[in-house]
Chains A and B, each alone.
Chain A
Amino acid sequence: MTNDPPRQQTRTPESRTIRAVLAGNPNCGKTSIFNGLTGARQRVGNYPGVTVEKREGRWTEGSFQVQMRDLPGAYSLTSYSPEERVARDELLEGDYDVVVVVIDSTTIRRSLTFALQVLQTEANVVLCLNMADEARRSGQKIDTSKLGRLLGVPVVETAAHTGEGLDSLKAAILASSLQPRRAPQPEIAAVLEDTRTIIEQDDAAALHRSQRFAITIAGILDQVTVEAARPDSRASTTRIDTVLAHRWFGLPIFLGVMYAVFWLTFTLGEAPMGWIESGVNWLGEAIDTNWPGSPDSPLLSLLVDGIIGGVGGVLVFLPNIVLLFLGLSFLEDTGYLARAAYLMDRYLSRVGLHGKSFLPLVTGFGCSIPGIMATRTIENERDRLATMFVLPLMSCGARLPIWMLVIPALFAPALRAPMMWGIYLFGILLAMILALILRGTVLKGDPTPFVLEMPPYRLPTLRSVITRMAERSWMYLRKAGTVILGISIILWALTTYPRPDSFQVDEDIAAGAQLTEQEIDGRRSAERLQFSITGRVGTAIEPFFRPLGFDWRIVTASLGAFAAKEVFVSQMSIVYALGEEGAETDLQSKLRRDFSPRLGIALMIFMLVGTPCMATVAVVRRESGSWKWAWGQFFGLTALAYVLAMTAYAIGGLV
């Protein structure tokens, strides 16, 4: 790095855009600071490595505009996980005016290592001592100006979640972009020079470098520590951990917590679901009765049956999804999920996964897409692929509408919560078995190291939990608004066209059959649907699904679920509404009439295991880097689903 990069130059007042980047250990509060500085919305997590993608935001300061990027967390520039590599490449090759190194003040001794590594590059560094509130509470006092003098960089204390110190940080970023970095004290400069070979991977050199840093940091801290933290500063976290991470109670508590989250999701979600449902129905009827044109108009059918019916059917499940995400966000923000990874690691590693597989898998309960993206935090490629492969077996939020449709329709109230719990559990067990098989065959190899930081418990701010929940719910809604709207229209068209010219039912009446008006309508719609493209495809492949108990309507609706799982529900409502217009409005009572419980179970198994949605296929392709994995997963899981559903249906027939 002898030839001067542009960031070393003194900036002239005309250059109005400052490029800044946030770097630091996982969990030190980068994303919270990022949100505080830019006002952007973004995931805020307590599990090391939540931020995988870089996020960008900006703010203006007088005539300057600051562009900021949030890097994934890294413990060192030498490490090997994909996200640490992203951070390293950005810091070594990215052309930034200012690098803000964020440090968790409560672990300053370790975190300064990363700061020193960044100082080895020639970037303009601003050191941000975050979690100042916690450090203060622990009794720790740091002389920041002395620290700044020693290292030759501005040092700012912040508490990101209250916004304390963020204005000073903004000012420091601006100031530091306007002048080249000062040199650190000679003895520190000597260490930095001496250990320059950052990317060298020699074992002896690594120890040498780490020890030089540790000694240097001990020296620095000796000079700048006005008061050291009390040794009992983690006492309350330790007290909580004696229960939550208890050797024997920890796991039952964890399972209980997960059960409680699901139970609350469905109990509290019931009332708002009713409101949305009646709202959607009211809207459909209002349009229907006030329609100025003919009641047979295709436009009316498109609007009421296609759009309102389809999107409304998905919208109904928003309360469930909001509540589930609320629970998971809270667990994540408090730091409990790291304990869960610790408690679960032995079992996960036994099936060839990693404690770190746990977060992606849990995220998969919300949606497979962010779950698959979160597998980047797993260092070993085989662990990552195995996790990715079984991830769609985690019952995602999009499948929730299917369970919410089928379970109350077919099972007694007392059986509903256990059924729901059961389907999630079934997915988990199957994922374990599958992972074990994968790690024993195609993905053979040693497991990766498990060295996970256990952050102190932090009571998340209401704002951060709500923000996160809103983000995730918004992701779901946006999908409902765009993808599902589009699919609803296409499926409506596929279920409407081509239209038949004549009906069998008319011939029957001519032959003397006695039918009510309603029955005639119903038969006519049914014939219309069977005549349509969907009906034809569904009918054509129906025999293939007969061992599973599926009729052509389920097959037709399943075709929609290829595109997105929740489409199954809207598809079912279209199929039934079109087929039996005006007969029964409630889809569930229709299911209760047509479905046996064993068909319900076979259907749920097929929907849980089979046909990951198109978005999953696309993301697996991107994250695994090969179509082989994406399609292998798609067809492998679908074949497995077919066999399992058939078995379940056959066994159900015996009892």
Chain B
Amino acid sequence: MSDQTAASNLTPALEDYLETIYRLVAKSGFARVRDIAKARDVNPASVTPAMKRLDQLGLIDYQQREYVGLTTEGETAGRRIYARHQILTRFFNKFLGLPADVAERDACTTEHNLSAETVDQLVRLFEYMEVCPEGKDHLSRFRACSAVHDNVPECEHKCNSFTLITDASGTHRLTIADLEPGQRARIRQIESKGAVRQRLLDMGILPHVHIEVARVAPAGDPVWIKMQGYELALRMSEAKAVTVEPVTENSP
């Protein structure tokens, strides 16, 4: 498998170039040097040595200097590198729940250091989690668990019977404190701890419960919420620890 040898000889920089060319070719059938330079964010002149090296390895067709094509070997290697990048990004983003930009960056830095076998296994695990019904179950349980245990290594099946929704992007964190009077929302998580958490739970502030902000006190604090037949006043410090998702339609 000559492409295997050629591809495994690539430096991270060359891998990145090959990936870029692969993407450009896949998009428009060819790759222009200045497009490659633009995509990699470098000077067109500095692309040339890399192209020469890739040509020597027989991965690209560099005859015309301006238009770059892929050899059969180059295409295979490029596809593998590109797929690996995609998989890692999705893994970090969808699976581990990291924000998209973090996932993209981490995929770029780790992809060159993983062996083909590792990537293959990751792909299988990813497919199991995403496609297999049981895997989906495990994935949500894993999310619940990671939210619940939070530095507690022993598992006592506390997370077994409920599902916590982790924010996939991790960026939008809406709490009761952010709601305006008249706005409705559904509770997602209670992030406070200890006595405060217990008190909130006892008062019926639980995931999935619908609430509406009725009004706020003169100084903007406490906030007065309505929920399933009764009304509560919460201090802002408590309200900030209850994440919600907005509800727009007139659902109960």
Binds A, one of B8-16, B69-77, B127-135, B231-239: B231-239
Contact, CB under 8 Å: B201 / A210: yes
- With a 10 A CB-CB cut-off, give which of A109, A379, A451 has the most chain B CB atoms: A451
Within 8 Å by CB of B221, from A75, A341, A346, lies: A346
Contact, CB under 8 Å: A214 / B206: yes
Contact, CB under 8 Å: B231 / A76: no
Binds A, one of B58-66, B96-104, B222-230: B222-230
Q: In the complex, which residues of chain B have a beta carbon less than 8 angstroms from the beta carbon of A241?
A: 214-215
Contact, CB under 8 Å: B193 / A203: yes
Contact, CB under 8 Å: B158 / A110: no
Binds B, one of A14-22, A246-254, A306-314, A598-606: A246-254
Contact, CB under 8 Å: B230 / A107: yes
- How distant is B50 from chain A, measured CB to nearest CB, in Å? 52
Contact, CB under 8 Å: A450 / B158: no
Within 8 Å by CB of B199, from A79, A106, A233, lies: A79
Known A109-B228, A211-B161, A247-B218; contact A449-B196, beta-carbon cutoff 8 A? yes
Contact, CB under 8 Å: A211 / B207: yes
Contact, CB under 8 Å: B218 / A343: yes
Bound state CA distance, A475 and B207, in angstroms? 47
Known A343-B218, A449-B235; contact A107-B161, beta-carbon cutoff 8 A? no
Within 8 Å by CB of A449, from B195, B204, B214, lies: B195
A208-251 CB contact bits vs B (8 Å, 1 = yes)?
10111010000000000000010101100010011001111011
Q: Is the C-beta of B198 less than 8 angstroms from some C-beta in chain A?
A: yes
Q: In the complex, which residues of chain A have a beta carbon less than 8 angstroms from the beta carbon of B220?
A: 346
Contact, CB under 8 Å: A345 / B204: no
Known A245-B224, A346-B218; contact A109-B229, beta-carbon cutoff 8 A? yes
Q: Is the C-beta of B6 less than 8 angstroms from some C-beta in chain A?
A: no
Contact, CB under 8 Å: B234 / A453: no
Q: Is the C-beta of A474 less than 8 angstroms from some C-beta in chain B?
A: no
Q: Is the C-beta of B179 less than 8 angstroms from some C-beta in chain A?
A: no
B135-167 CB contact bits vs A (8 Å, 1 = yes)?
000000000000011001000001101100000
- How distant is B179 from chain A, measured CB to nearest CB, in Å? 15
- With a 10 A CB-CB cut-off, give which of B203, B232, B238 has the most chain A CB atoms: B203
Within 8 Å by CB of A106, from B159, B201, B226, B229, lies: B229
Bound state CA distance, A378 and B234, in angstroms? 15
Bound state CA distance, A278 and B31, in angstroms? 112
Q: Is the C-beta of B36 less than 8 angstroms from some C-beta in chain A?
A: no
Q: Is the C-beta of A355 less than 8 angstroms from some C-beta in chain B?
A: yes
Q: Is the C-beta of B202 less than 8 angstroms from some C-beta in chain A?
A: yes
Q: In the complex, which residues of chain A have a beta carbon less than 8 angstroms from the beta carbon of B152?
A: 204
Bound state CA distance, A304 and B70, in angstroms? 120
Q: Is the C-beta of A281 less than 8 angstroms from some C-beta in chain B?
A: no
Within 8 Å by CB of A207, from B190, B221, B232, lies: B190
Q: In the complex, which residues of chain B have a beta carbon less than 8 angstroms from the beta carbon of A212?
A: 161
Q: Is the C-beta of A206 less than 8 angstroms from some C-beta in chain B?
A: yes
Chain A, residue nearest B191 (CB): A203
Contact, CB under 8 Å: B148 / A453: no
- With a 10 A CB-CB cut-off, give which of A206, A251, A379, A448 has the most chain B CB atoms: A206
Q: In the complex, which residues of chain B have a beta carbon less than 8 angstroms from the beta carbon of A447?
A: 237
Bound state CA distance, A338 and B159, in angstroms? 37
Q: Is the C-beta of A454 less than 8 angstroms from some C-beta in chain B?
A: yes
Q: Is the C-beta of B247 less than 8 angstroms from some C-beta in chain A?
A: no
Q: In the complex, which residues of chain B have a beta carbon less than 8 angstroms from the beta carbon of A347?
A: 219
Q: In the complex, which residues of chain A have a beta carbon less than 8 angstroms from the beta carbon of B114?
A: none
Known A211-B207, A451-B232; contact A346-B202, beta-carbon cutoff 8 A? no
Q: Is the C-beta of B49 less than 8 angstroms from some C-beta in chain A?
A: no
Q: Is the C-beta of A342 less than 8 angstroms from some C-beta in chain B?
A: yes
Q: In the complex, which residues of chain B have a beta carbon less than 8 angstroms from the beta carbon of A242?
A: 215
Chain B, residue nearest A84 (CB): B202
Contact, CB under 8 Å: A345 / B222: yes
Q: In the complex, which residues of chain B have a beta carbon less than 8 angstroms from the beta carbon of A233?
A: 229
Bound state CA distance, A214 and B161, in angstroms? 13
Q: Is the C-beta of A201 less than 8 angstroms from some C-beta in chain B?
A: yes
Chain B, residue nearest A246 (CB): B215
Bound state CA distance, A233 and B229, in angstroms? 8
Known A207-B190, A343-B217, A345-B222; contact A80-B195, beta-carbon cutoff 8 A? yes
Contact, CB under 8 Å: A204 / B235: no
Q: Assign chain A's interface to a size class.
A: 35 or more
- With a 10 A CB-CB cut-off, give which of B221, B229, B230 has the most chain A CB atoms: B229
- With a 10 A CB-CB cut-off, give which of B193, B201, B226 has the most chain A CB atoms: B201
Q: Is the C-beta of A51 less than 8 angstroms from some C-beta in chain B?
A: no
- How distant is A455 from chain B, measured CB to nearest CB, in Å? 8
Q: In the complex, which residues of chain A have a beta carbon less than 8 angstroms from the beta carbon of B194?
A: 201, 203
- How distant is A172 from chain B, measured CB to nearest CB, in Å? 25
Contact, CB under 8 Å: A247 / B216: yes
Bound state CA distance, A454 and B226, in angstroms? 10
Within 8 Å by CB of B234, from A80, A202, A451, lies: A451
Bound state CA distance, A207 and B193, in angstroms? 11
- How distant is B223 from chain A, measured CB to nearest CB, in Å? 10
Known A208-B161, A247-B216, A345-B217; contact A453-B235, beta-carbon cutoff 8 A? no
Contact, CB under 8 Å: A346 / B197: no
Bound state CA distance, A110 and B201, in angstroms? 10
Chain A, residue nearest B189 (CB): A207
Q: Is the C-beta of B200 less than 8 angstroms from some C-beta in chain A?
A: yes
- How distant is B217 from chain A, measured CB to nearest CB, in Å? 6
Within 8 Å by CB of A79, from B202, B214, B215, B226, lies: B202
Q: In the complex, which residues of chain B have a beta carbon less than 8 angstroms from the beta carbon of A210?
A: 201-202, 206
- How distant is B65 from chain A, measured CB to nearest CB, in Å? 63
Within 8 Å by CB of A349, from B195, B203, B209, B235, lies: B235
Contact, CB under 8 Å: B202 / A207: no
Q: In the complex, which residues of chain A have a beta carbon less than 8 angstroms from the beta carbon of B148?
A: 204, 207
Bound state CA distance, A142 and B247, in angstroms? 29
Contact, CB under 8 Å: B238 / A379: no
- How distant is B213 from chain A, measured CB to nearest CB, in Å? 12
Chain B, residue nearest A237 (CB): B231
Q: Is the C-beta of A205 less than 8 angstroms from some C-beta in chain B?
A: yes
- How distant is B198 from chain A, measured CB to nearest CB, in Å? 6
Within 8 Å by CB of A245, from B161, B215, B226, lies: B215
Within 8 Å by CB of A251, from B197, B218, B228, B252, lies: B218
Chain B, residue nearest A138 (CB): B229
Q: In the complex, which residues of chain B have a beta carbon less than 8 angstroms from the beta carbon of A355?
A: 222, 233
Within 8 Å by CB of B204, from A109, A207, A208, A246, lies: A109
Contact, CB under 8 Å: A345 / B235: yes
Bound state CA distance, A40 and B209, in angstroms? 40
- How distant is A597 from chain B, measured CB to nearest CB, in Å? 36
Contact, CB under 8 Å: A205 / B235: no
Q: In the complex, which residues of chain A have a beta carbon less than 8 angstroms from the beta carbon of B222?
A: 342, 345-346, 355, 450, 452
Q: Is the C-beta of A38 less than 8 angstroms from some C-beta in chain B?
A: no
Q: Is the C-beta of A177 less than 8 angstroms from some C-beta in chain B?
A: no
Q: Is the C-beta of A124 less than 8 angstroms from some C-beta in chain B?
A: no
Bound state CA distance, A379 and B198, in angstroms? 13
Chain B, residue nearest A250 (CB): B218
Apart from A341-B233, A449-B238, what 13 extra A-B contacts exist at CB < 8 Å?
A80-B199, A106-B229, A109-B204, A113-B202, A205-B158, A214-B206, A234-B231, A342-B224, A345-B235, A449-B237, A453-B230, A453-B232, A454-B232
Q: List 16 A-B contacts (CB under 8 A).
A: A76-B202, A79-B202, A106-B229, A109-B204, A113-B202, A204-B148, A204-B152, A206-B198, A208-B162, A234-B231, A242-B215, A247-B216, A345-B233, A379-B195, A451-B233, A453-B232
Top 7 A-B pairs, shortest CB-CB distance: A346-B219, A76-B202, A450-B235, A210-B201, A204-B148, A204-B158, A454-B231
